[in-house]
Amino acid sequence: MIATIIVIVVIALLVLWVISVQRKLVSAEELTKNAMSQIGVQQSSRWDALTGLVELIKSYNEHEYITLKSVIAARAGIDSNSTAEQAQAQEDLLQNALVQVKAISEQYPDLKANAMYIKTMDSVNTYENQVRLSRMTYNDTVTRYNRQIRQIPENIVASLFHFTEKQYLKENTAKSDMPSLKI
């Protein structure tokens, strides 16, 4: 009788522990999704600012305008379910478009001196800094999440509920090769 009660108590405690760990893992996974979502919001703002720059370019160079419009049309949104690779691909696409805008502005000094161009480029730079912070936040949350699902005994619960490791966002090498966007 006492042995039965002890077994029931141990099983109940084990079930409560599994539930507790599973809830912590879900919470950690949601934090990584939220951090990826924040990257998407910041990138969307950068794309919007880039669209404004492209519209300014239209009056200076129709061919470049059409080319940049096609780049903007190829963009995809980043949301909470996006992978690190998808976010990186969008970042690379955006950086390439910004390099093109910078090259065009060098060809047209009037464009570069345009007050709207200067203001919009400042916005692009501000959003770029916000994306950097969001990327750091994402990588920090991924570190915590990956650590949780790999530590004993939480890794047992993680494997039972199919929690998998998240990928980190890599440093954007295209950004380091990019010329300065400062005006």
Tens digit of each residue's pLDDT (9 = 90 or more) over 119-135: 999 999 999 999 999 99
> Selecting from 1.20.1440.20, 2.60.120.260, 1.10.1200.10, 3.40.50.1580, what CATH number does the domain 2-167 have?
1.20.1440.20
CB burial class (10 A; 0-12, 13-18, 19+) of residue 165?
exposed
Q: What is the DSSP letter of 152?
A: T
Distance CA 32, CA 141 (A): 5
Q: Residue 182 corresponds to which amino acid?
A: K
Distance CA 124, CA 49 (A): 6
Query: pLDDT tens across 67-117, in order?
Result: 888 888 888 888 888 999 999 999 999 898 889 888 888 888 888 888 988
Whether residue 183 is predicted with pLDDT greater than 80 in this model: the reply is no
